[in-house]
Amino acid sequence: MDEKEELLLKIKAVAKEEATKHGFMNEEAVTKAFDKRMEGLDLEKLKSFDGEATALTIKNIAAELEKLKNRKTEMPSRIDANVLKEMFQKSMEATPELSSFLSAKRKDSEIEIFSTKAAAIMTTQNTINENNYPLEMIESVNMIDEVVKKRRGYDFIFDVADRVVLSEIEKYTTWEEEGSEQGAFAVVAEGGLKPLVSTALVRNYATAKKVAGKMVITEEFAKWRKKAWAVIQQLLNDKLMRDYKALALADLITAAASYTGTSLDDTIVAPNDIDAIGAVAAQIQALDFTPDVLIINPADLWRIKLSKETTGGYLYLDIQGRTGESLLGYNVVVSTRQPVGTAILGESKLFKIEEENVTVRLGYGIEYTTSGGNVTSVSSDFDTNRLRLIMELFYKAYIPTAYTGSFVSFDFTTVKAALLKP
Q: Which tens digit of pLDDT belongs to each residue from 253-311?
A: 999 999 999 999 999 998 999 999 999 999 999 999 999 999 999 999 888 888 877 77
237 with 377, same domain: the answer is yes
CATH number of the CATH domain containing 348:
3.30.2320.10
Pick 9 or 402 by higher pLDDT: 402
Once rounded to an integer, what is the mean pLDDT over residues 146-174? 87
Residues 249 and 157: beta-carbon distance below 8 Å = yes
330-334/293-296 β-pairing:
parallel
Dihedral sign for Cα 404, 408, 409, 411, please.
Answer: positive
- Give the Cα separation of 54 and 87 in Å (integer): 17
What pLDDT is recorded for position 296? 92
- Give the Cα separation of 324 and 390 in Å (integer): 36
**Is 193 a domain residue?**
no
CA angle 142, 143, 149 (to 5 degrees): 175
**Is 23 a domain residue?**
yes
377 with 253, same domain: the answer is yes
163 with 65, same domain: the answer is no
156 with 291, same domain: the answer is yes
233 with 302, same domain: the answer is yes
**Is 410 a domain residue?**
yes
Mean pLDDT of the chain: 77
pTM of the model: 0.60
What pLDDT is recorded for position 118? 52
Name which of 26-30, 47-51, 268-272, 273-277 the model is least confident about: 47-51
24 with 160, same domain: the answer is no
What pLDDT is recorded for position 136? 59
Nearest to 161 by CA among 406, 412, 394, 387: 406
What pLDDT is recorded for position 386? 85
Residue 66's domain comprises 3-103
**Is 413 a domain residue?**
yes
**Is 117 a domain residue?**
no
154 with 99, same domain: the answer is no
157 with 96, same domain: the answer is no
Secondary structure class of 325 (helix, strand, coil): strand
- Give the Cα separation of 247 and 336 in Å (integer): 16
Whether 61 has a pLDDT exceeding 50, the answer reads: yes
Whether 398 has a pLDDT exceeding 80, the answer reads: yes
Note the pLDDT tens digit of each residue in 187-224.
999 999 999 999 999 998 899 999 999 888 888 888 88
The total domain count for the chain is 2
Once rounded to an integer, what is the mean pLDDT over residues 125-153? 62
285 with 155, same domain: the answer is yes
Q: Of 85, 103, 121, which closes a domain?
A: 103
55 with 171, same domain: the answer is no
**Is 65 a domain residue?**
yes
Dihedral sign for Cα 286, 288, 290, 293, please.
Answer: negative
60 with 165, same domain: the answer is no
Residues 162 and 355: beta-carbon distance below 8 Å = no
Once rounded to an integer, what is the mean pLDDT over residues 66-86? 52
Name which of 7-21, 104-118, 267-281, 348-362 the model is least confident about: 104-118
What pLDDT is recorded for position 266? 94
**Is 186 a domain residue?**
no
What pLDDT is recorded for position 317? 58
Once rounded to an integer, what is the mean pLDDT over residues 93-98? 55
